[in-house]
Amino acid sequence: MSQGVQVVGVYVRDHDEALAFYVDKLGFKVHTDVRNGDYRWLTVQHPEQPLFQLGLFVPGPPVLDAATAEDISAIVAKGAMPPLVLAVDDCRAAYEKLRAGGVEFTQEPIERFGNIDAGFRDPSGNGWKMIQTGTQS
């Protein structure tokens, strides 16, 4: 496949903190981490998803003016960014593992209509749902 969505970004409050979270806690891998002056292009990848990158971007100059960056930081911190979904094979096992690693869970695993979902946040406030589909087998 050579066409498709390649990078989707989330805003984070601090690159290093986000990197530690997504790599050390969630088990993602760094795909690209390059700088141009103060600007840092940082993307990570799920280990089983080589064609997709999750970009970790800190809002600010030179891309955004300071006031806009401040607004975005507030929106991220109050958890108002759009939903993110992580597909997992075993939601309860992933929950136990991530929680033991210090991930901030907002919802314990719940089974609904054959799926199991749990909720967590990254340090910046981005909310993730972790969903295991089709457990009725």
> By the criterion CB under 8 A, which residues form the site for other proteins?
13, 73-74, 76-79, 83, 85, 104, 106-108, 110, 112-113, 115, 117, 119, 121, 124-125, 129, 131
- Alpha-carbon distances of 97 from 79, 91, 100, 104, 133, rounded to whole Å: 23, 10, 5, 12, 19
**Encoded amino acid at 62, one letter:** P
Task: State the minimum distance, in angstroms, from the CB of residue 2 to other proteins.
Answer: 29
Find out whether 71 and 60 touch, Cβ atoms under 8 Å.
no
Q: Which two tokens stand for residue 51?
A: 């064609």
Task: Rank residues 23 and 77 by Cβ distance to other proteins and give the closer one.
Answer: 77
Find out whether 19 and 42 touch, Cβ atoms under 8 Å.
yes
Tokens 């600007």, residue? 39
Task: Rank residues 25 and 129 by Cβ distance to other proteins and give the closer one.
Answer: 129
Task: State the minimum distance, in angstroms, from the CB of residue 116 to other proteins.
Answer: 10
Task: State the minimum distance, in angstroms, from the CB of residue 45 to other proteins.
Answer: 23
Task: State the minimum distance, in angstroms, from the CB of residue 80 to other proteins.
Answer: 9
